[in-house]
Structure 1
Amino acid sequence: MKRLLLTTILLNALFLALLLPHYPQMPWLAAEALLISGLFALLPESTGKRVGAATVGALFGLLAFFALSDVLVRHSIGRPFNLYLELGLAGSVFNLLQSNLGVTLSLMLIVMALTVFVGLGICVSRLLRQVDANRSRAAARAVASLGIVAIGVTFLPQPFVGLTAARAATQQVELAADTYQSTASFQQHLMDNPGASQSRPLQALAQTDVILGFIESYGISSVTDPRYGRLIQPRLQQMEQVLANAGLHMVTGRLQSPVQGGQSWLAHTTLLSGQWIDTQLDYDTFLASDYPTLIDDMGATGHDSVAVMPAITREWPEGLAFGYNRIYHSTSMGYRGPALNWVTMPDQYTWSWFQRQIRERADHTPVFAEVALISSHAPWVPILPVLDDWDSIGDGEIFNRWKDAGEAPASLWRDPERVRDHYARSLDYALNVATEYAKRHVDNKTLLVLTGDHQAAPLITGDNASRDVVVHVISADPTMLAPFVGSGDQEGLRGFRWGAHPHSGQPGPSMASFRPFLHQAFSPSLIPVKISAADTIEK
C-alpha cells in the first residue's frame, strides 16, 4: 500500500512537470499518473508488464525532452517548441553552442541532457515495474478507478485536474498540423500572386548607394525599457547631434519583426521580400519560389548587389538563391583579428572593410548592400571600445589586444542582471560604430537604413514584449528621407518621424510593408518631392 501510494505521488509530480512551460497555469493532479499507477499495480509480474513499463518510460522521456525544450525555446525566441520546425534547426543550435562554449563543452552538455532524459524514462519504468497488488489489490483498484474518474473530470471546466502527457503530445501534433497548413497556404499565396515573377526598379535611387544594415537584437525594448533606455536613449540623442553636425539628416520609426531572440534570416527575408516569413518552412518555400526581392529590384535599377555576412562561417547556398552578385562571409573578409566568442569580427571592422573593399572599389556603379552586423549578438561579451583611428583598423590585427578579453560566456550567463547590462552595452557599441561610419561615409548619394532584425530574447525583454525593432534612415539629401514621413499629399511609413527617437507607444507596421513602401516612394511614378533642409526639423 505504501509503495503504491509513493509511486503514485512520484508519478504525479513527474507528469505535472511536463506542463512546466505553462506555469503557473498548471493543474495539481495528473489524471494519467493515477490511472497508470493503478493499472500497473493490477498487472502481474510478466514480460508484458516489463515491456509496457519500458514503453511508458520511453514515451515519458520523449515528452520530458519536449517540455524542457519548450521552456528553452520560449525563453530564447519567444514561441513554443515546435518539433515540426525544430528538426531543421538542430544544426544551427549546435553551431551556436559550439561558438560560445566550444566543441567539447557543447558535446558534454548534449550528453548530459540525453542522460537526464534517458534517466527519467528509466525512473518511470522502474516505478511502474515495482508496484504490485499482492498486498492490497483493493487499493490498486481504487487508484485505477480514481484515475478513470480524474480523466473524466478533465473534461469539466476546473483548474485542479489535467491530462498532462496527453496535453504535451497533443500540442506537438496540433502545432505540426497548423504549421503544415500555414506553409501550404503560404506556398499557394506565392503561386497565386501575379507579381511573383517580376521585380520593380526604383529609379529614384538609380544613382544612390543603398545600404541596409541589420543591427543584431536592436529591438524597441532597448529604448522603451528603463533598464536599457538609460543607456540607449542618450546614445540616440548623441547620434542625432553627431549626424546633424556632419550635415546628415535622419528619420526613425519601428517595424514589427516576425521573430524574437533568433532566426535573424527570417526577419531579413521578410523585409527584403515584402512577405511575412516567420517559420523555417516558409523560408524554404520562399527560396524555392523565385519570388523577387528588394535585391532584384535594386538589380533592375542598376545596382551591384552585395551581401556582407560576417556571421556566416560555412557555405551559404541560400545566398545564391537570393541572387546577390557577390557574397562575403567571415572567411572571405580578410580579418586577421581574434574571434570574440560567437562574434567572428567586431562591427567596426565590418564597416571599415565594407567601405574600403566594396564602396571605394565600386567603379561608379551604385551599390546595394545588405550588411549583417553582429557585435550585439549574444552572449554579449566581450564589449570593445570604438577606435578613434579608423585608418589603423587595416586587416583587424589591432583587435588582437582584446583576444580572450572579458569573462567566459558560461560565467556571465549565471547572472541574468549582468547579462542584461552587457546586452545594453553591446548595443550601445553597435550604434556608436554605425554613427561613426555614417558621419564619415554617408553623403547625398547614400541612403543608409539601419534596422534591428528582432527583439532580444524574453530573458532580456520580458514576456509578451512588442516584437517591434527600431529603424533609422540616414542621408545627406533630405529628399530621400521625406517619403518616410510623408510629403505633400503622399503618406509616409506609419510612425516614422524626423530624428533618432522612435515613437514609444505607437506600434510599427510589419517588416513586410517595407519593400512595398519603397515601391510606392521611389518608383518612377512617385518620385519624392524636393524639400529644403529647414523642412526636416520636425520633432
Structure 2
Amino acid sequence: MSRRRLRPGTAVAVALLVLIPLVPGLLAARRAAAMIALPAESIVAVIVLALLPWRAARVAVAVLFGVLVGAGLLAAAADFGFEQSLDIPFDPSDSPQLIDAFGVLRSSIGAGWAVAVLVGVVLLALTVMATLAWAGLRVAAAVRARPRPGGATLVAVAAAWGVLALVGVSIIPGRPVAASASIGAIGQAAQQAAETRTAVARLPAEITSDAYAGLPPSQLLTALRGKDVVFAFVESYGQVAVQGTGFSKGVDRTLHAGQAQLDADGYSAQSAWLTSPTFGGLSWLAHSTLQTGLWVDKQPIYSKVIRSTRFTLSDAFHNAGWKTVSDVPSDAQPWPFGTSFYHYDELLTANNVGYQGPRFGYARIPDEYTWKYFADHELAGPHQPVMAEVDLVSSHTPWAPLPQPVPWSAVGDGSIYGPQPAEGDSAEDVWRSAAGVQQAYAQSVQYSLGSLFDFLHNVDDPNLVVIALGDHQPAAIVSGAHANHDVPIGIISKDPSVMKAIASWHWQSGIRPSPTAPLERMDAFRDRFLAAF
C-alpha cells in the first residue's frame, strides 16, 4: 500500500525533472519541439543524489540543483524578455536595465501592479527551485529503494544521453536532443557579461580619441551662429511607423500633411535613416550615442561614458556661446549628469514647467504642452541663441491613454487636458491584442509628429533649425521579430544655407525618407554634423 502511494508522486517528480530544465530551451527556440529532449542537469543530479549516503549532503545537492536550474530559467526568461522588447540578449552585468525596466512597468501599469508582478516572479522562481529539489530527492529515494531496476534505468538514460550527444541528434537546428538548456542559458548570460567587460575596457581609448574636443570655440558651429537649434527625439519613432506596415498609412498621412504645412510656411526639409544602438526602449542610449559619437548600446557603457569627459554636441554649442537646454518632460527626479556631463545650462523637467494637467500613462506631459512651454519660455522675444534637446514622450509605450490636440492658444497650464485620459482608451484595453497595440502606437506617433508640425507652424523664427529623429524602433509586438534598428531623421529650416551645408550627405528632400534614403549609424552623426557646420 505504501509502495502504491509513492508511485504517483514519483511519476510527477520524474515529469518535473524532465520538463522544467527544458523550458530555457523552449524560450530560446520558441518551438514546442525543444521539449523533446533529455536534460543533462536532471540525469546528473539524480545519479549523484542516489549515490550519496549522507542525508544532509543529499539535501544540499538537491538545493544546489534547484538553484542551478532556477537560475537558468530566470536567465532564459530575462533573455526572452529582453529579446522581445529590446532585441538584445540579457546581460547580468547590466543590472540597471532591470531596474529601468521595472520603472517603465511601474509607469505603465501602476506601482501596485508592478510590485505584484515582481513579487509573483520571485515567488515563482523560489517555488520552481524548491519543487526541483523535492523532485530530485524523491526520484533518488525511489532508486535507492529499488537499486537494481532503478540503477539500470539511470544507466540506460545516461547512456542514451551520451549517444545522442555524440551523434549530435537535434530536431530543431542548434537545439540538441541531449540537452543542457539551463546550463546553456547561464553560460550565455556569462558570455554576454564578458563581452560587456571587453567593450567597457575599450572605452577609455575611444573616449580620448576625438578630433573635435580640442577645437577652440571660435571654430565650432560657425555656420549656425545666431540660429536656434533643436534636436527633437520622437520616442519609439522607427522605420515601421512610416514604411511597409498596415498601421504606417496613418503616420504617412500625418507626414504628408505636415510637409504641406512646412512648404506653406517656407520651410525646407531633408531626411535619411540612422541605425539606433537600441531597440524598444532605453532611449538614453540613443541620446548619448548621437551626442557623443560613441556606440553606446549597453547600460554599463553608458554609465562609463556619462562619467567621462567625452565631448558632446551640447558641449560644442555651450562652448560656442549658445544657451543649452534639456527638455525631458518624463523626468521627475534629479538628473546630475545633465549638468556634470552634458553641461546643459537649463534642465526642464516635469517639475518646473508649470504643468497642471493630468498624466497620460508613462507620459507625464503631452508633447503639445512641451512645445508650447518651450516656445513661450525659450524662444519668445529677444534671446540668446538656444540649443536644446527636446524629448517627445507621448509616443512612449504603452501608447495609451493618448492626449488629443487642442488649439495652440488654449494650451495654458495644461488643465484643458483634464478630461482626456478618462475619455480615451486605457492601456488595459489597448494591450488586449497585438493589432490594438500597433494601432495605438501609430496614433501616438501621429500625435507626436503633429505636435512638432504645430510648433513649427506657430513659432515664427526664421533662424530655427530642427533636427527631428526617432530614438529607436518600437518593441517587437509592433515592429515584428528581428526588425532592424533604423529610425528616420530629418533636418528642417527656412534658411537655404542650412541645406547647402549638408548637400554632401545626399539626404532626400522632404521629411519622410524613402526606402532608398541614405543610412548610417547614429554614432556617425556627431562628427558629420560638426564637420558640416
- Same-fold call, TM > 0.5? yes
Deviation (angstroms), 1:138: 3.4
User: Which one of 14, 24, 27 corresponds to residue 8 of structure 1?
Assistant: 14
Give the match for residue 438 of structure 1: 456
Contact 1:359-1:367 within 8 A present in 2 as well? yes
Residue 479 in structure 1 maps to residue 479 in structure 2 = no
Deviation (angstroms), 1:110: 1.1
State the SS of the aligned residue for 1:322.
Answer: coil
Indicate the RMSD between aligned Cα atoms, in angstroms. Answer: 2.1
Query: Alpha carbons of 1:183 and 1:72: their partners in 2 closer, same or farther (altered >3 Å)?
Result: same
Residue 186 in structure 1 maps to residue 203 in structure 2 = yes
State the SS of the aligned residue for 1:138.
Answer: helix
Give the match for residue 23 of structure 1: 29
Deviation (angstroms), 1:139: 2.8
Contact 1:260-1:467 within 8 A present in 2 as well? yes
Between the aligned partners of 1:226 and 1:89, the Cα distance in structure 2 is 29
Residue 340 in structure 1 maps to residue 340 in structure 2 = no
Query: Alpha carbons of 1:450 and 1:140: their partners in 2 closer, same or farther (altered >3 Å)?
Result: same
Residue 408 in structure 1 maps to residue 426 in structure 2 = yes
Correspondences of 1:207-226 after superposition (within 5 Å): 207-226=226-245
Deviation (angstroms), 1:300: 2.5
Q: Which moved more, 1:29-38 or 1:9-18?
A: 29-38
Contact 1:42-1:141 within 8 A present in 2 as well? no
State the SS of the aligned residue for 1:336.
Answer: coil
Residue 392 in structure 1 maps to residue 392 in structure 2 = no
Query: Alpha carbons of 1:462 and 1:442: their partners in 2 closer, same or farther (altered >3 Å)?
Result: farther
Give the match for residue 283 of structure 2: 264
Deviation (angstroms), 1:69: 1.5
Contact 1:151-1:163 within 8 A present in 2 as well? no
Between the aligned partners of 2:501 and 2:166, the Cα distance in structure 1 is 56
State the SS of the aligned residue for 1:311.
Answer: coil
Deviation (angstroms), 1:505: 4.6
Between the aligned partners of 2:117 and 2:285, the Cα distance in structure 1 is 28
Between the aligned partners of 1:41 and 1:417, the Cα distance in structure 2 is 52
Between the aligned partners of 1:353 and 1:258, the Cα distance in structure 2 is 30
Give the match for residue 100 of structure 1: 108
Deviation (angstroms), 1:466: 1.5
Between the aligned partners of 2:361 and 2:226, the Cα distance in structure 1 is 39
Uncovered stretches (5+) of structure 2, i.e. residues with no partner: 1-6, 171-176
Query: Alpha carbons of 1:21 and 1:318: their partners in 2 closer, same or farther (altered >3 Å)?
Result: farther
Correspondences of 1:302-341 after superposition (within 5 Å): 302-320=321-339, 321-341=341-361
State the SS of the aligned residue for 1:67.
Answer: helix
Give the match for residue 390 of structure 2: 371
Between the aligned partners of 2:89 and 2:152, the Cα distance in structure 1 is 38
Contact 1:53-1:126 within 8 A present in 2 as well? yes
User: Which one of 36, 55, 66 corresponds to residue 64 of structure 2?
Assistant: 55
Give the match for residue 49 of structure 2: 40
Give the match for residue 123 of structure 2: 115
Between the aligned partners of 1:408 and 1:38, the Cα distance in structure 2 is 53
Q: TM-score, normalised by structure 2?
A: 0.91
* Equivalent residue letter for 1:126: W
Residue 82 in structure 1 maps to residue 83 in structure 2 = no
* Equivalent residue letter for 2:505: G
Between the aligned partners of 1:179 and 1:151, the Cα distance in structure 2 is 34
* Equivalent residue letter for 1:336: Q
Give the match for residue 268 of structure 2: 249
Query: Alpha carbons of 1:382 and 1:5: their partners in 2 closer, same or farther (altered >3 Å)?
Result: closer
Give the match for residue 492 of structure 1: 505
Between the aligned partners of 1:297 and 1:416, the Cα distance in structure 2 is 43
Deviation (angstroms), 1:195: 4.7
Give the match for residue 75 of structure 2: 66
State the SS of the aligned residue for 1:449.
Answer: strand
Query: Alpha carbons of 1:201 and 1:48: their partners in 2 closer, same or farther (altered >3 Å)?
Result: same
Between the aligned partners of 2:138 and 2:72, the Cα distance in structure 1 is 22
Between the aligned partners of 1:37 and 1:3, the Cα distance in structure 2 is 16
User: Which one of 238, 252, 258 corresponds to residue 257 of structure 2?
Assistant: 238
* Equivalent residue letter for 1:497: Q
* Equivalent residue letter for 2:248: G
* Equivalent residue letter for 1:384: P
Deviation (angstroms), 1:375: 0.5
CA displacement 1:438-463 (0-9 Å, x = unmatched): 12225431111111011101111011
Deviation (angstroms), 1:141: 4.2
Contact 1:309-1:328 within 8 A present in 2 as well? yes
Between the aligned partners of 1:194 and 1:252, the Cα distance in structure 2 is 26
Query: Alpha carbons of 1:175 and 1:156: their partners in 2 closer, same or farther (altered >3 Å)?
Result: farther
Q: Which moved more, 1:216-225 or 1:159-168?
A: 159-168
User: Which one of 261, 286, 290 corresponds to residue 305 of structure 2?
Assistant: 286
State the SS of the aligned residue for 1:276.
Answer: coil
Deviation (angstroms), 1:17: 0.2
Query: Alpha carbons of 1:95 and 1:6: their partners in 2 closer, same or farther (altered >3 Å)?
Result: closer
Residue 350 in structure 1 maps to residue 363 in structure 2 = no
Query: Alpha carbons of 1:259 and 1:507: their partners in 2 closer, same or farther (altered >3 Å)?
Result: farther
Residue 229 in structure 1 maps to residue 248 in structure 2 = yes
Between the aligned partners of 2:101 and 2:485, the Cα distance in structure 1 is 22
Q: TM-score, normalised by structure 1?
A: 0.90
* Equivalent residue letter for 2:490: H
Contact 1:338-1:403 within 8 A present in 2 as well? yes
Query: Alpha carbons of 1:238 and 1:509: their partners in 2 closer, same or farther (altered >3 Å)?
Result: same
Between the aligned partners of 1:408 and 1:351, the Cα distance in structure 2 is 25
* Equivalent residue letter for 1:172: A
Deviation (angstroms), 1:193: 4.4
Q: Which moved more, 1:329-338 or 1:272-281?
A: 272-281
Query: Alpha carbons of 1:381 and 1:3: their partners in 2 closer, same or farther (altered >3 Å)?
Result: closer
Deviation (angstroms), 1:269: 0.7
State the SS of the aligned residue for 1:51.
Answer: helix
Query: Alpha carbons of 1:206 and 1:380: their partners in 2 closer, same or farther (altered >3 Å)?
Result: same
Give the match for residue 455 of structure 1: 473
Contact 1:340-1:404 within 8 A present in 2 as well? no
Query: Alpha carbons of 1:40 and 1:144: their partners in 2 closer, same or farther (altered >3 Å)?
Result: farther
Contact 2:276-2:487 within 8 A present in 1 as well? yes
Deviation (angstroms), 1:275: 1.3
Q: Which moved more, 1:244-253 or 1:197-206?
A: 197-206
The number of residue pairs the alignment matches comes to 512
Percent sequence identity is 26
Query: Alpha carbons of 1:516 and 1:124: their partners in 2 closer, same or farther (altered >3 Å)?
Result: same
Between the aligned partners of 1:258 and 1:56, the Cα distance in structure 2 is 37
* Equivalent residue letter for 2:17: L
Between the aligned partners of 1:195 and 1:482, the Cα distance in structure 2 is 22
Between the aligned partners of 2:190 and 2:163, the Cα distance in structure 1 is 22
CA displacement 1:372-396 (0-9 Å, x = unmatched): 0100001111222221x21111111
Query: Alpha carbons of 1:517 and 1:39: their partners in 2 closer, same or farther (altered >3 Å)?
Result: same
Query: Alpha carbons of 1:264 and 1:152: their partners in 2 closer, same or farther (altered >3 Å)?
Result: farther
Between the aligned partners of 2:509 and 2:518, the Cα distance in structure 1 is 17
